């Protein structure tokens, strides 16, 4: 381990935080549009439509399960992006406060 100084750019960290916020906002907007989707179920209620939507005896393989899992994953991603933005902005503030003291 060396004693080399660590350099940080608080303004750059804030710019990165804003980028994370922008990506989060856009991703959330896309997710909201996808979740709203079109009304109804275009695959129908016949045997083929039911197999497509709910899997052929295995709900894990159906469209609905995959769709719901994707929505859940993207919601989690939005949360991670938001948290990264907060952490970067907070870190920038803490670095500046440490330099001032």
Residue 79 lies in a domain: yes
Residue 26 lies in a domain: yes
Residue 73 lies in a domain: yes
Residue 1 lies in a domain: no
Question: In Å, how far are 31, 41, 64, 84 from 56, measured between CA atoms?
Answer: 27, 17, 12, 40
Average pLDDT of the segment spanning 5-30: 95
For the cut 90, the answer to whether the pLDDT of residue 2 exceeds it is no
Q: How confident is residue 100, by pLDDT bands cut at 50, 70 and 90?
A: confident
pLDDT at 41: 82
Please state the domain count of the chain. Answer: 1
The number of beta carbons lying within 10 Å of the beta carbon of residue 51 is 16
- What is the domain range of residue 25? 10-31+45-100
pLDDT digits (tens, 9 = 90+) for 31-88: 999 998 877 788 888 999 999 999 988 888 999 999 999 999 999 999 999 999 999 9
Structure tokens at 16: 């990165």
Residue 38 lies in a domain: no
pLDDT at 23: 98
């Amino acid at each position: 381990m060396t004693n080399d100084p660590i350099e940080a750019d608080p303004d750059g960290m804030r710019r990165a935080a804003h980028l994370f916020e922008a990506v989060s906002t856009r991703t959330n907007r896309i997710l909201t549009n996808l979740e709203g989707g079109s009304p109804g179920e275009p695959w129908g209620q016949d045997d083929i439509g039911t197999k497509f939507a709910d899997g052929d005896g295995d709900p894990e393989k159906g469209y609905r399960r995959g769709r719901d899992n994707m929505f859940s994953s993207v919601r989690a991603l939005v949360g991670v992006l938001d948290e990264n933005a907060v952490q970067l902005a907070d870190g920038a503030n803490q670095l500046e406060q440490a330099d001032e003291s």
